[in-house]
Amino acid sequence: FSWEDVLGLCAFTEGHCRVLHQLLERVPSDGVKQKLMVKQLLYRSLQLFTSVAYDAFQCAQAAGWPGLERLTAGCRRSVAWMLEALEGLPESKRAKYLDFTVSCTFKLAYLFYNQNLHEEASSVCELFCKRLETADAYACPEIPAERLHKCFRLQVESHRKLGQLERALACVVQWLAALRGRIGELLAEPISLWARVKTDAAKQGAEELRLRTLKEGLEGHSLDVETLVTVLFAELKAYKTIRADTGQERYNVLCDLLEICSEESGRLHERAIGLTELAQVLCYHSYAQQTDCSSLDSVREALRLLELVPRSAQNRDRLLDDQAQALLWLYICTLESKLEKSIERVQSAKAQGLKNLDDFEPNDLNYEGRLLEDRFLYDGISFNLATETALSKSLDDAFALWKQLLATPGVPAVRSPEQTVASLQLLAALYKLTAKPLQAMESYLLVRALCSALGDSLGTAGALCQVTKLLFQLECPSYAQLFLEETESCLQKADSSDDSYLLLQQTCLLLRSQLCCVNRRIEEGLTLLLGVLQNPALQKITKVWYLLRAHVLQLVTVYLSLPPACLSLELRQCIFVQGWKTPETALAEAHKLFRSIILLLMGSDVLGCQTTASDVQFVDYGDNLLLKWQVLADMLACSEHLVALLSRLKVVCNAKAFCLEAVKLALKLQAIRWCTSFLVLKAQLELQQSELELSHFDLQQALFLLESDTEFRASEKLKGQTKILPRKGKREGKKPQDPVSEPPREEEGFLKGPALEFVATVSGLEKADALTASPELKPKRRKRLAFLTHAAACPCCLCSDLALSALCLRWLLSCAQGELAAGCVAEGLDLIRAVLPRCATVATRFAAVLRDKLWGGSVGRDLPALELLDDLVVSGYATLALQNLASPRPAEELQEELQTGLTFLVSCRPHLPSLGVSRASLLLAKAMAAIFHLASKHGDSLDGVFAGSWTCQLPMLPPAEPEVVAAPLTLKTAKAQPQRRKNKTALAPAVPKPRVKKSQRAKPLAVPNTNDVFALGDSDNEVPPIVIRPVTVPCTPHQKACRPAKACAAPGPRTPFTIFSESSPPAGKSRLLRAPKVSGRVKSRLKVTFSDDSDMEDPKAGLTPAATRKTSCARKALPPKSAGSQTSSLGFGGQSSGAQTRRGRLGACRAGAAEEKRERVTRRAPSKRVEEERELLRAIKEEEKVEEELEISFEVLQVSKEE
């Protein structure tokens, strides 16, 4: 039909209806059947017109059509005739024709609404909605409520589209009034629209409409108090579902609720619920001008009133749920209050630090490290384990109440099951933030139980995903596999059209990839990971997808960290193609994503960073509150992994920067376990930089958090009963304070005396010693954790908590490493030997605890393999191996421990950090022990061990070539040798190749001795091998018979060359170290040339640890030696740099060196003087030859530069 046909039909229908109307007037009053027949004809005619008009206007646009006005008037008359015809119908037929009227009215109105003709649509619905308000249409059970809702909804939406928000709110009130007796049952739909219209009013700046509540809107409808309270609670719930800032609207509704539900009214339960909701609003919004109470005052008053509510079987579930909700928010409000005060303290400290900025010296080598330090860092430690226990009591009480509520299967009779699910998710996220994984898992199991009872498959799958993640964090892959399989089966039953389905599906694939990696199915796991990484949905610009992307990058880090034996180069190339080539880059990007989410949610104050954009205020709507605590927990966990990874890569400065940032965040959150963990990591970083005192100080700070008995003054005094009377009004805007422009104010309690935030604890033994010992003479007693002295089944807070037990063991291992670095070898080794077996004991104990919590004490189920402490055990064995390498003679008891460590490493999973390095350390230590054992059979000669395996006998030095031994170096660390190799590689390209032959003619090849540890072979095709002999106690080597001097005159087939090094002294030293004088000349082919003779002390046979460190550092800073002319590894200023050598200076050096040698010879014993003079003359002649060669080399270099 065309539009003109519709107009014609409309005119015909109007005429037909007029005729039928005239017939009705002629029917006598007692002619019921005749009236019914005429009305049936009327409804059929109007229904036919409605269907034709509705179908004709489905596709074409009617805007601007000349007949639009006539059609609108016809539709309005049609609705009026149908409503008029309802009068006088018998009750049995009334519902049927009312249903016809509803259907036709909606179609006629939707005809215009679909054409964006909202004014016409609202005019058609208006007549019908007014009639429903007086007709009590919702009382008809035959008519579905949804059909009646559609007309009201269309009218409200039409006014919204037209911007007529006040009329839209009036329509919602009309709708609620039409519900009458069913208002408590059907109010969700109209109140949801009310909340959305109010949100539109807030966007348009209509403050008067924004402050209006349903209590004011329904004033003329004389609702009873119970119904009004129900409506206001529904309005409050509707505001919380909107993804916008509705704090102002919620506050005004709560003002009405608390006014109605006063304590005198007897509605204690409703008032307590309202006060809990008020605490949630006041926690994130400021209404200081409207109310004198804080969020903590409100929630404490709610808890007090809930205790006064009489208990019964009917209200048991509601009371348990409401008490748990109030306790949860008591914890959140306390945490937010402490977080806000911590941020204010940091800003004040920054302002004071900017005014009192210390100037660093321009040549300060530790300048970059000092910039990272924060003088106010440790001032924030105003809490300890006892403080955390007191703070988390409300959280634990809430968990116990919900556990009691959900002990019986089924849906509990609570106020809002959806709200209970959201609160349980908050509870689990907060437990995860406080590093309590077992409690977090139990909370997620409660979420699973409630969602299963509600039939929410996606909610159940989401809870199971979180449990699986926590099991992976605890390194319990066997249980993680069981829960992952349950998650996948649950996801198959879920609605795939839901927005969160794809997110959960990708999360399951990611967890499956992680499981494959742990179980050594690397190729399968990598395929799954790449599938998630390449999914276009991962690029969505939403916070939850950012979070998943960060988790994907964390798993990419795990795969890239696998040893080459597990992840081949071909498979590794697949990850390279995605843009990730190293684990540290992937993990750093994940860290950036977590930071970005925090900045989007909470602004820059939480992280303490400066941003150019305007600061963001946290808005508590939707999933923001849950996401806030989740991302903070994930950020801390990612920071821990990143610091550990950078520490293993020796990027100490960056690792320290991330560690300090994480410490500050943990201090703001008063997360004692995270704070302790990062302090232990920082202590290890300081130990890597040989800062023993700073490392010990960080460990003492961590010890204070774990074992101090200091009682801190409460920041807020607990108040008694508080009179809470909030008043309606607009909240005051929060103006962010500029910490730089405002000077820091004095604390209020300054005149009362300082509040000591850090009080050193003193044990009873120290107190007893202090009475009898002099403080000046008494050595400072080093405090240590008493954890190892506790029994294996000790019920104390440290031993009965998995995270705290793991922290204690990490603290003790770090302490042991500090003792070894300080030279206290026996104490350090004893501590490591005590830590390693305790790790196995702790793992076994908590494996049983985990089984009981997850499976309800199922005795038949096997204990899981809890591998959380495996990396700690590996580190302990690696420390033993390094200590074995550093000792002059390996101890026998270390050999069994090394073998035990190797056996343990074989059983470890491939994704364990630093597994390959630790295994290499153990193998090297075992090899060294075997070499020393063989050497003992050859008269303590290491040369004898390898003599039989050498393929060729190297020539001996002629007797005319004396040898000079270098100053002894102990094997302090394994870093000195690779550094020397790196220097050689870096300087090799600087060889002047065109002038090689002159150098060859001027200098004969030095033939190595077979006893020389740096002996060079004579192969033509291979690089000469370097044999490094383990360093023993320095001594004068025995002279052996040498072949004649003629043997060294023949030039070898390899072309010799000279490396000219123009490198400046190393930048890591502020000034050059003084070179020690040579105490004597012994036979060696390593010739030592010193730049000055300012150091008058002779080197001793045994070096102290400090001296050894200086020596090794000096060796690392030197340029490499060439094969032809070798210089000392200890020479600094006078080493043979050809471009800087001058003839005059060479002569002066030669004369000075000869004079020095003669002076030393005169101080020797008379019995050896003749032999040593002979050796001295040979050494002087040899040096003259070398210096002549250097002069020639210098001339060659000058010629090459001129060319």
Residue among 863, 1029, 1019, 1003 at smallest CA distance from 946:
1029
Does 305 have pLDDT greater than 80?
Answer: yes
Which of the four pLDDT bands, split at 50, 70 and 90, describes residue 347? confident
Residue pair 237/610 in contact (Cβ under 8 Å)? The answer is no
Does 1071 have pLDDT greater than 80?
Answer: no
- Helical segments of 856-891, H only: 870-886
Rounded Cα distance between 216 and 1033, Å, is: 94
Q: What is the pLDDT of residues 524-562, one digit of tens each?
A: 999 999 999 999 999 998 999 999 999 999 999 999 999
- Residue 302: its pLDDT value, please? 95
Q: What is the mean pLDDT of residues 848-853?
A: 91
Percent helix, strand and coil across the chain, each rounded to 5?
A: 65, 0, 35
- Residue 1092: its pLDDT value, please? 43
- Residue 10: its pLDDT value, please? 83
User: Could you identify the residue written with the tokens 């907060």?
Assistant: 430
Which of the four pLDDT bands, split at 50, 70 and 90, describes residue 952? low
Question: 262 CB contacts (<8 Å, ≥6 apart)?
Answer: 271
**pLDDT, greater one: 257 or 1192:** 257
- Residue 365: its pLDDT value, please? 53
Rounded Cα distance between 199 and 196, Å, is: 5
Neighbouring-strand partners of residue 964: 1085
Is 632 exposed, middle or buried, given 0-12, 13-18 or 19+ CB atoms closer than 10 A? buried
**pLDDT, greater one: 255 or 1028:** 255
Residue pair 429/629 in contact (Cβ under 8 Å)? The answer is yes
Does 823 have pLDDT greater than 80?
Answer: yes
Does 1011 have pLDDT greater than 50?
Answer: no
- Helical segments of 241-374, H only: 247-260, 268-284, 295-308, 316-355, 367-372
Does 668 have pLDDT greater than 80?
Answer: yes
User: Could you identify the residue written with the tokens 């005749």?
Assistant: 34
- Helical segments of 708-824, H only: 764-772, 802-821
Structure-block tokens of residue 1176:
């001295």
Q: What is the pLDDT of residues 1135-1164, one digit of tens each?
A: 333 333 333 443 444 444 444 444 444 444
Structure-block tokens of residue 568:
């081949």
Rounded Cα distance between 303 and 281, Å, is: 17
Q: What is the pLDDT of residues 117-166, one digit of tens each?
A: 899 899 999 988 888 888 778 888 888 888 889 999 999 999 999 999 99
Q: What is the pLDDT of residues 220-235, one digit of tens each?
A: 888 889 999 999 999 9
User: Could you identify the residue written with the tokens 């150098």?
Assistant: 999
Which of the four pLDDT bands, split at 50, 70 and 90, describes residue 915? confident
Rounded Cα distance between 38 and 88, Å, is: 12
Helix H or strand E encompassing 6: helix 3-26
Q: What is the pLDDT of residues 236-251, one digit of tens each?
A: 999 999 988 899 999 9
Residue type, 840: A
Residue pair 299/279 in contact (Cβ under 8 Å)? The answer is yes
- Residue 1192: its pLDDT value, please? 57
3-state class (DSSP) for residue 553: helix
Does 677 have pLDDT greater than 80?
Answer: yes
- Residue 226: its pLDDT value, please? 92
pTM of the predicted structure, to 2 decimals: 0.75
Most confident by average pLDDT, 73-87, 292-306, 980-994, 1165-1179: 292-306
- Residue 911: its pLDDT value, please? 87
Residue pair 122/69 in contact (Cβ under 8 Å)? The answer is no
DSSP one-letter code for 263: G
Rounded Cα distance between 983 and 979, Å, is: 6
Q: Cβ–Cβ contacts within 10 Å for residue 12, how many?
A: 12
**pLDDT, greater one: 740 or 275:** 275
Rounded Cα distance between 395 and 390, Å, is: 10
**pLDDT, greater one: 91 or 372:** 91
User: Could you identify the residue written with the tokens 């909370």?
Assistant: 443
Rounded Cα distance between 1003 and 259, Å, is: 104
Q: What is the mean pLDDT of residues 768-791?
A: 64
Which of the four pLDDT bands, split at 50, 70 and 90, describes residue 585? very high
Neighbouring-strand partners of residue 1095: 1076
Does 11 have pLDDT greater than 50?
Answer: yes
- Residue 1177: its pLDDT value, please? 55
Question: 958 CB contacts (<8 Å, ≥6 apart)?
Answer: 1007, 1042, 1043, 1044, 1045, 1046, 1047, 1048
Q: What is the mean pLDDT of residues 1035-1045?
A: 43
Residue pair 796/790 in contact (Cβ under 8 Å)? The answer is yes
HSE (CB half, 13 Å, CA atoms) of 764? 0
- Residue 1165: its pLDDT value, please? 43
